[in-house]
Amino acid sequence: MNILLNHLCEIRTYCLDPREFLVGKILLDSDERIFLIEYDSCGSYDGITVLDKNLIYKIKYKSKYLDFINKIYTEHKMEYNLINFDNFIRYCIDNNRLLNISCKKWNCFRNCKILSYTEGLLKCQIINKLGEPKSVKHILSENIDYLEYDTNQLKTYERFIYSNQTQK
């Protein structure tokens, strides 16, 4: 698989409908994962997606759609230096950020706050729709297929739960 860093691309995965794809720029390419700055259909930043390379079946760097997005998208500047997966997880812990995590065998956890990360094991607090702690899950990092961070949905939810915490 040909991976070009910081080039606008379409990524097709086995977990999406064949007509759907992710659009963004690959920031980091590790042995097991890629880190993608994702853009929505209006060219706006829509978070970071971390993908297991085994889920990817095609990456395109040229298409009419990418030509269109290239004309309208707004470049997103990273707020921190992304080095590797461990660095990324520690940043999320230190900054109290929420994640959506999809694991092998279709275990999906929405609105997770990572409480700790030790030797590849994430201890995550699942937050319910009311912004309250629901349950704690332990997830091996090697079992993570797909991880979303800083999406519009997650940022909206963070504003909701953190504003409710300050009002109590």
- Please say which residue of 26, 45, 78 terminates a domain: 78
CATH number at residue 144: 2.30.30.100
Tell me: do 110 and 154 sit in the same domain.
yes
Tell me: do 19 and 33 sit in the same domain.
yes
User: What are the residues whose beta carbons fall under 8 Å from the beta carbon of 9, sequence distance 6 or more?
Assistant: 23, 24, 25, 26, 59, 60, 61, 66
pLDDT in tens, the chain (168 residues): 789 999 999 999 988 777 889 999 999 999 999 999 999 999 999 999 999 999 999 999 999 999 999 999 888 877 777 889 999 999 999 999 999 999 987 789 999 999 999 999 999 999 998 888 999 999 999 999 999 999 999 999 999 888 866 555
Plot region of 106 (φ>0 → left; ψ -120 to 50 → alpha; else → beta):
left
Tell me: do 58 and 114 sit in the same domain.
no
By residue range, what is the domain housing residue 63?
A: 1-78
Tell me: do 51 and 118 sit in the same domain.
no
Tell me: do 91 and 165 sit in the same domain.
yes
Tell me: do 73 and 92 sit in the same domain.
no
133-140: strand order across its sheet: 56-60, 8-13, 22-29, 33-39, 45-52, 144-149, 98-103, 108-118, 121-127, 133-140
Tell me: do 85 and 149 sit in the same domain.
yes
Distance CA 168, CA 160 (A): 13
Is the full-model pTM beyond 0.85?
yes
- Number of domains into which the chain is organized: 2
- Please say which residue of 78, 102, 120 terminates a domain: 78
* Helix or strand holding residue 16 (H, E): none
